[in-house]
Amino acid sequence: MLIRPLLVALPLTFCACFAETEGVDRERESMSKKDEDRDKDGFTVAEGDCNDDDERAHPGQKLSFAKPHKLASGELSFDFDCDGTTTRDDEIAVCLGAASPEGESCSCAPGWSGEAPDCGKSGTYSTATACGFTPTEARTQACR
Ligand SMILES: [Ca+2]
Ligand SMILES: [Ca+2]
């Protein structure tokens, strides 16, 4: 008769202890996740790394990328410098001056022909540095 209440109380005690330990472990785990630099890019989540599973993404990133990084939520992101915005490599090809028989009065800055495509999308990119012949290539928009 005395054993029965004891058997009922025992699992409840174990359960309560286990749940408490699990909570502490989870808290400790999330603390260490914020403090460790898993992708070895020099930044922890606490220091502003917006994706600690991709070394391309970190504060101060100056490079742009044509392939997004995947956030823990599963969402794809082109914000590689972790500033909360996505910046496209937006420059459109611009030629200044006019073509002359000598070809010296006109120069071009390489860039997109027409409208710049969205991040990860392809477009036509002009690599021209002088007027007249306009070499182009297919390129994918890189962002950060
Ligand atoms: Ca990172
Ligand atoms: Ca950004």
- The least confident of 43-47, 54-58, 65-69, 97-101 is 97-101
98 & 39 share domain: no
The mean pLDDT value of the chain amounts to 81
**How far, in Å, from the CA of 84 to the mean position of ligand 2?**
6
7 & 71 share domain: yes
Considering the domain boundaries, does residue 130 fall inside one? yes
**How far, in Å, from the CA of 89 to the mean position of ligand 2?**
11
**How far, in Å, from the CA of 114 to the mean position of ligand 2?**
24
**How far, in Å, from the CA of 53 to the mean position of ligand 1?**
6
C-alpha radius of gyration, the chain, whole number: 28
pLDDT digits (tens, 9 = 90+) for 94-141: 888 765 666 567 788 889 988 899 999 999 999 888 777 778 999 999
72 & 99 share domain: no
**How far, in Å, from the CA of 45 to the mean position of ligand 1?**
8
Whether residue 11 is predicted with pLDDT greater than 90 in this model: the reply is no
DSSP secondary structure of 37-68:
-TT-SS--TTTT-S-TT-TT--TT----BSSP
Task: Please list the residues that pair with 140 across neighbouring strands.
Answer: 122
Q: In 3-state terms, what secondary structure has residue 56?
A: coil
Judged by its nearest atom, the ligand closest to the C-alpha of residue 40 is: 1
Structurally, how many domains does the chain consist of? 2
Considering the domain boundaries, does residue 85 fall inside one? no
pLDDT of residue 135: 87
Q: In 3-state terms, what secondary structure has residue 121?
A: coil
| Residues spanned by the domain of 38 | 3-77
36 & 63 share domain: yes
Q: What is the pTM of this model?
A: 0.66
**How far, in Å, from the CA of 91 to the mean position of ligand 2?**
16
70 & 119 share domain: no
pLDDT of residue 131: 78
**How far, in Å, from the CA of 88 to the mean position of ligand 2?**
9
**How far, in Å, from the CA of 52 to the mean position of ligand 1?**
4
Is the separation of the CB atoms in 74 and 100 below 8 Å? no
Considering the domain boundaries, does residue 18 fall inside one? yes
Cα–Cα distance measured from residue 3 to residue 96, given in angstroms and rounded to the nearest whole number = 94
pLDDT of residue 70: 97
